[in-house]
Structure 1
Amino acid sequence: MSDGGHSNPATESHWLDWLGWASEQGVAVPDDAAFAEARARVWEASEFFATATARHPGDFAELIASGDLERAYGEGVLAQRLEAALAGVADELALQKSLRLFRRREMMRIVWRDLAGFAPLSETLEDLSELADACIRQALDRLSDWTHAEFGTPRDSAGRPLRLVVLAMGKLGARELNLSSDIDLIFAFPQGGEVTDGPRRLSHEQFFVRLAQRLVQALATQTVDGFVFRVDTRLRPFGEVGPLAMSFQAMEDYYQSQAREWERYAMIKARPVAGDPADRDQLMLMLRPFVYRRYLDFGAFESLRDLKRMIAKELYRRGMEANIKLGPGGIREIEFIGQAFQLVRGGRDPDLQVRPIRQVLACLADKRLMPADAIAQLDAAYVFLRLVENRLQAYRDQQTHKLPEDAAGQWRLARSMGFADWPSFAPVLEAHRRLVQQQFDHVFAAPDTHEEPGESSLNGLWTGTHEALHDLELLEQAGFADPAAARIRIEQFRENTARKGLSSRGRDRLAQLMPMVLRVIAASEQPDLVLERVLRVLESVARRTAYLAMLIESPDILAQLARLSGMSPWFTDQIGRHPLLLDEMIDPRRLYAPLRREDLESELDALLEHLDADDLEQQMERLHQFAQGNMLRVAAADLTEAIPLMVVSDYLTEIAEVAVARVLRLAFAHLVCQHGHPTSILGEDSGFLVLGYGKLGGIELGYGSDLDLVFLHGTERVSAMTDGKKSISNEQFYARLGQRMIHMMTTRTASGALYEIDMRLRPDGNKGMLARSINSFAAYQESDAWTWEHQALVRARPVAGDRRLAERFGAVRRAILCRERNPETLRDEVRTMREKMRANLDKSRDERFDLKQGSGGIADIEFMVQYAVLRWAAAHPELADWTDNIRLLETLTRLGLLPGHAAENLTDAYKALRAVYHRSALQQQPKTVPLDRLQAERTRVREWWRVLMESGE
């Protein structure tokens, strides 16, 4: 291989020495071209490998003979081989020697495969990480036994022996260890106490500190055989001054009250590598809320920006621009990009709670949090830079990240990376670093809080540094119709927030945010109205500095908030009560594109995926967030006419159906764990069915609608019992299932309630059983139900539950609706019920018309449709196919059952009344309108009521 004058005579002499040794020992040397080429590349790139071969020729000979240089290890091979290597170890000195010899052999193998091009980066990082994991675990196992024998055994309150938990941090935690990396470790133990069965009493802390010290010594002490891994324990609570091992409780106290912001970033990669599995899980569950906040934590951008600024300042001071880890466009900037998104969104999106940075980047691409081409560039840069890092460290097995300045070192690095020379390598490296820095600068760009040239300065309005007349002039110029009122409102807000006792960071963020807020409000169509509504939201979130950071970092949220606030007070009311909904405004593409059923299911899967099956509170919280967030999107798309008004109810109904189905699934799984499955049931799954009546059944839900539900089950034998250890009757099981569902949907958590539930439409109303068998329901409908209950059945349909039971209900419903009825009797009963309802519920008064219950309103149309279905379904069974009024009117038109233009007129009136009803909900106005509105529609509805329900036509 031509070296261009830069070859290293020392490494080549090591090769000649080894060849001489091999000849003396009768060791065969591979004579194939592939080996020769790989050998030349390795010797050229790694003085460490050449020297190790000269000093320990038998290791290289064994590696060749075993074939390990040519093959990747399978899962668990390293651990098995280390177990064999440590089989005869009886004391710490022997342990240290065996670990070092094993590490030397495996490092030679890993370096060879890396430099020869036999192993991709992923294999190299995985092998290095697995080597460290195996050494930690197996050294700890032996040291634990010896320490127990010497000092006794720590036990918990139940007498269970306790084991040390080892947390790997940094690159080892993410299984991304490089060729010459420290390993960052934190040591913990489950609980405090005393060891009482040893020669003298020791606290658990004293015991585990000694054990941790022994482990660090076994791995890091420099002996004649070198070291295994350098160990850094400074990431532990309180750093170097803190105890080497801490109890879980002490760690929790520290991270809740004293940990610094950078410790959150470090903890992202924390991975337990040793300890009892249950203890490891408990520790990670305890640490997760510290790392991943339940809200979108945009303050992470600000903190990481500050941390990067400190690193850059230190690098500049040291003149370390050539550092490929910490320098501009280096590995750390890629990690910061990933960590920023993890810290901001990981609490809400558990998919981001992964450790390896390449997995994080792939997740960002999948979720479209960054452009796919940007992610591809970052991933390619990361692979390239990590390969460079390994090549730098493979040269002398030293922990370095600095590019060589000498010509020989530059040539050697370029060649090891597959380039002919430095001039061909350097531009590629620079291109990767430049792209990384561009992406980093884009992600971490400080928000622009400065006003445009020529723009009226609104800063003084917030700080109160202007004279009153000057403020009034500014507000008038900004477009406020009542500048005096606007100024008073701003002053009130400033005083209110001052009284809230904000932290210094909160005050700083509010001072940074408010000029932006005032500019956005001034640019809106109705500044006076928007000011009042937006400030109301800000008052509700002012003490939560993370939300202030979110609004600063994402000005788009402010813009959407101002826009939608001007259209509807419903938005500011919802967001004021549930600030988590601000998250929905980050991406306008998502905000104005509500989801349909399949995507709703996927979103809910993601929200619930990582929750404990028994964590009812968090399940309810996530369900509430799901429903509220998706309703907000529907309302945003509705107001901006991104979706037609007539499909708004379709979207809202699907949200409810997905939520109810998931509540059923969770509640059923919980009860099955307690009592087993019901037996002797009709059905192929739960044997349970949720019926939607009213607006839910009619696919006509509005904003804030209650859900009218009826629960049925498929029990076919009254004495049937569940099949679990704590068996109960099917009747009890399904009653408890219904109760748990209602509890999950109606209990108020921090995010409010999921839905209000009305169960009064079940057989026998509030006096009836909460869940009724399908056979009992059928008998009731056949013999005991009132006409109004058959009317309600017109709008009843399955919304969740067992498919076979749904089919059975469909047959029962059709049989009831298609019964022969006396038209006169039916008309009288329907009319009488409508008159009673109007007398009790109609809120038409004081020149206002009740959209639903007033004469000529929505309920009149619904009653006429129900009457028509019950009258003609016996002759026309297709009238039992639908539950929504529009399609039922279309069917009545097609069948020619209504006189004249009745169906057309009623359809138009129904749409018009429903549209105003929806808008009233969004404007938080009463569901009444002035008497002069919708007069034509109401008149036609009243006329058709007289024709159909009073004249007898």
Structure 2
Amino acid sequence: MQTTAGRLARLGFADGAQAERLLDDLGPEAVGDLDLLAALVGAADPDLALISLNRLAERDPSVLGALRADPGLRSRLLGVFGLSAALGDHVVRHPEHWKLLSGDEAVQRTPRHAMRSELLAAVGADPDDPEPCAAHGGAEATSGTSATSATSALRVAYRGRLLHLAARDITGAASLSEITSELSDLASGALEAGLAIARAEVPESADVRLAVIGMGKCGARELNYISDVDVVFVAEPRDGVDETKALQTATRLAQGMMRACSTSTPEGSLWEVDAALRPEGKAGPLVRTLTSHLTYYRRWAKTWEFQALLKARPVAGDLELGGEYVAAVNELVWQSAARENFVEDVQAMRRRVEAHVRAGEADRQIKLGPGGLRDIEFAVQLLQLVHGRTDGLLRRRATLPALAALSRGGYVGRDDAKALAEAYTFLRQIEHLLQLHRLRRTHVVPENVTDLRRIGRGLGMVVDPVGEFTTRWKRHAREARRLHEKLFYRPLLQAVARLPGEEVRLSAAAASSRLSALGYADPDGALRHIAALTSGVSRRAAIQRTLLPVMLGWFADAPDPDAGLLGFRQISDKLGTTPWYLRLLRDETAVAERLARLLGTSRYATGLLLHSPDAVAMLGSDGELTPRPKQAIAGEAAASVRRHSQDAESAVVSVRALRRRELLRTAVAGLVGRIDIEEVGQALSELNDVTIQAALDSAVHKVTLERRGEFPTRFAVIAMGRLGGYECSYGSDADVMFVHSPLEGADDKAAADAAHAVANELRRLLARPAPDPPLLIDPDLRPEGRQGPLVRTLSSYAAYYRRWSSPWESQALLRARFSAGDPHLGEAFMELVEPLRYPPDGIGEAAMREIRRLKARMEAERLPRGADPLLHTKLGRGGLSDVEWLAQLIQLRHACEIPELRTTRTLEALRAAVGAGLLASTDEEVLAEAWRFASQIRDAIMLVRGRAGDSIPVDVRERMLISRALGYPPDGSEDFVEDYLRTTRRARVVTERVFYGGA
């Protein structure tokens, strides 16, 4: 036979034994009251409802009789008790307040003026004339005791009104919009009462007019149960009052009002009053005059500040002054989309939202997480700002009315607006249930099953409250995120593609405005590209119509949206009939997003893709974006040369196509952060080695065929400069020297002629016009430079270095290494130059002075005319040259005795110098940071512009593009330049001390 506790557990109580005991404590009439039991079982949390009821009955037993007599009271009171432990505590503390939920008034909305009057009366102010009246005792009542009494009374009255409102909410007697607007009106009344308390403490309060402007949800009349109440204060002196004195008085009033609402008392606190949205934020004055506000907004405000002002509304104090403020700022709000920095500010707003999500909470954050409330609000507000300039019907403060207006105006489809409104409503309902439980500000869905069950039941889900709630919540969040991404872009397709049956009908001008606002510099050109991609009834056009709403957003987030869209159209035109291409982009989101970022960032990478569009496939795998081992690339290149053994040009064309693909792989890996700048340099240098080897093999084969005999000499390519140091950038030439050694018995002249022919053919093959980036061979570091022979024998090099070698040649040979050709000859060359670059006794004072003199001369003479020495990454102060020459001077002096210094790599040499005690670790960190930063900038210039450059551009837009490629935010180009100047300034200090000043 089942026990009473067991039956109660089956009915929905988590703790049947406790429920049995608590019901017994209520008395025999309660135990047999099936209506009471049904109301408890119907509560979101029956146990919580029963506990609060028992505590209340101990304070006021008459409540039990009232519950039996009034079904409405029973439903409302137990509904509140089952959801809100905090309101249960309040009613137990103030048992007379349960009566607010009985009678006809319990289901009726409290008028705004009635709430205001009730809260003002609670603090002792005259509801009809609060300004001159002091709180609790008249103008002379300014003691701390009176203020404390008033603030406590305000909280009690506020919570009583909140109880009445929550009961109507929980029982379905009021809609979401009614609840949020009533909560906002309640907050306005509390602010007015708080201001009355403040006036009681400030005798000069009559000298100033003070208006409280509600912002955010309070201003839009869509407040939730517990939220910071955002405000801005505006003040004007009364006639004959000094402005400075009036502002001081207004500031005291504002501070007093904020304390009255925010200070914790035995009755708790209401909420934080947050004035951080004022001009200059927390760093600015708390109160300003109207003129001061407008001056700031006209001269210094950012777009996000106008987005905030979109919801501004007078809520307390001098409402006439508040109305003047709102009317004045509205003119500025609706012109903000035309501002020059609108796009950057919009992107900054997005980042600000994402940055506030705590680690590990994103999936449970209903406000800031993906598909959360802020996604919806941001989308609606941005569309309002873009189109509200010309369409006054969009100028609504609250989200749902604004969304409805966007739908009626044809800016958002009806179905999309409906889905977004449903998602927003559901998320707001979750938000309210989360906050009602403890009356705490939270937007994180709990993981605890008990809490999830209470929320699900609070939403009317009975059979499987946890499962049903989770499913619906996730579905709405996904839909909100999807619509957030598409809202801006789907109507653009419909505006240009003339799709049948579509309901959104943006005009060409409206579509152009939307694209401009989102960062497209040539919106009309973008619309033409969209039309070309999406028009028609082909399967290709249909897939593009699915892809583009999302991809247009990714392009807008990239540094150069126009270039991204143009590149996408060009690649799509080349691959449009290829079955895998659009299917890959449609089914693999990561590939499409990566492609959009690449096309919108790098003209260089776009050019590579246009000539090898099938390489899009590699974007789908992180493994594909790791530079391949040199041996694997070399094997593939050698196979290409063998396949085209009778045609050197075709062989090298094939090898250059291979190089193009690997350049793209490296560029993408670098841009997405898969590899760092040292790894980029090594990958590019090894790729150049492979390319030179393949071209050399083809050249040797061709010259041998032409001479119809055995090739008479061994031939090697010695890498120099950045190639030798494994530090190539995308725009680097290949600095090399050529060495040959005649075979035994071969005629010296024939061998020399063959070697020269191969060297020239190698250069010709790699420099031939082609769709691929060229690899220019630069042999100018050879002995005697351009005046000397292109190729020398090993013995000729030995004779030259023995007789004529100068310090700069020893320095240049520090980077020398074998690159291609005969490895034994390369090894012999390296043995030959070993004592030159690592002098047995180091270098003497005369040589050091010569190197320093050459460096100073280079800085003075080689810097291009008009170049800013502070911004030239190679020859400028603290740039690559400073770091490399310093490392090389240390090598020339000490590598003879410290083997670890015998490296061609700059950063490796610096690290070895630290290990040997020749350089302070702090100096190495400064130098390495400058070298990496300058190298990253040189690569970024090439990637962004598609052509090499050594100076940070003067053009503001180019700077922005380069800074974005380096990972800076859209508005971070100034930070980028400042970071570079600071980094190189520190490196220059080290250079002057160690290179020029070192003994």
Give the alignment's TM-score, normalised by structure 2. Answer: 0.44
The structure with the larger Rg is 2
Give the alignment's TM-score, normalised by structure 1. Answer: 0.46
